[in-house]
A and B are shown apart, each in its own frame.
Chain A
């Protein structure tokens, strides 16, 4: 049972464009929704996270949008740069429970 569904599997964007990655979850007990960024040969690193008491969180060019009623959240990367090319994972957890990850999105930003 996949508790967090992530799409698309891969994404190609031109430099300066907007990258959008979507995730949907099933467990209404989830209360923490992080996004991780992974460069080739490296471990994933926390990029940005949100809790369901807010609908949006922005850090620089990265924004999480959260829709509690639809049980969906998304990552928006504004003004995408070639250096943003990486694999992005959404995840979710509730309380002290383990993080559940989406299957990842490989983002390529063309110069």
Chain B
């Protein structure tokens, strides 16, 4: 039981490049979400999904896309990276109560 896994752990992009942050969970949770963490800003919700085929926007969705084709996977896509997207990104999955976080991806956009 690996829990929530994220790849890559670190990534450096140039402005305008695109990339996909991968997230997978093996707990059969319906609810998954993506957060970004910036100093002094706490955890801000980007997008979330309540099940396969269903996604919705969170607090800071601009510049990010998501899809949920399976229960296990919830990738986050940056279509055209900007320096403002430099952050640490956490994926999470949730049962009725507890939310489990992945180890994070540290992204730097130059």
What does the 1/0 interface line of B1-27 toward A look like (CB < 8 Å)?
000100000000000000000000000
Which residue of chain A has its CB nearest to the CB of B41?
Answer: A103
Q: Does A45 contact B (CB under 8 A)?
A: yes
How far apart are A21's CB and chain B's nearest CB, in angstroms? 13
Pairwise interchain contact A44-B101, C-beta atoms closer than 8 A? yes
Total interface residues in chain A, CB < 8 Å: 20
Residues of chain A within 8 A of B94, CB atoms compared: 99
Residues of chain B within 8 A of A89, CB atoms compared: 42-43
Task: Evaluate whether A43 and B102 lie within 8 angstroms (CB atoms) in the complex, with A49-B97, A98-B48 already known.
Answer: yes
Pairwise interchain contact A42-B104, C-beta atoms closer than 8 A? yes
A46 to B43 Cα, complex, angstroms: 14
What does the 1/0 interface line of A58-88 toward B look like (CB < 8 Å)?
0000000000000000000000000000000
Which residue, of B43, B45, B94, B96, has the highest number of chain A Cβ atoms within 10 A?
Answer: B43
A102 to B4 Cα, complex, angstroms: 22
How far apart are A13's CB and chain B's nearest CB, in angstroms? 20
Residues of chain B within 8 A of A49, CB atoms compared: 97-98
Q: Does B74 contact A (CB under 8 A)?
A: no
Residues of chain A within 8 A of B104, CB atoms compared: 41-43
Pairwise interchain contact B43-A44, C-beta atoms closer than 8 A? yes
- A residues touching B (Cβ–Cβ < 8 Å)? 6, 9, 32, 34, 36, 41-46, 49, 89, 96, 98-99, 101-104
Known contacts A43-B4, A46-B98, A103-B41; 6 additional CB pairs below 8 A are: A43-B104, A46-B99, A98-B45, A99-B94, A101-B43, A104-B42
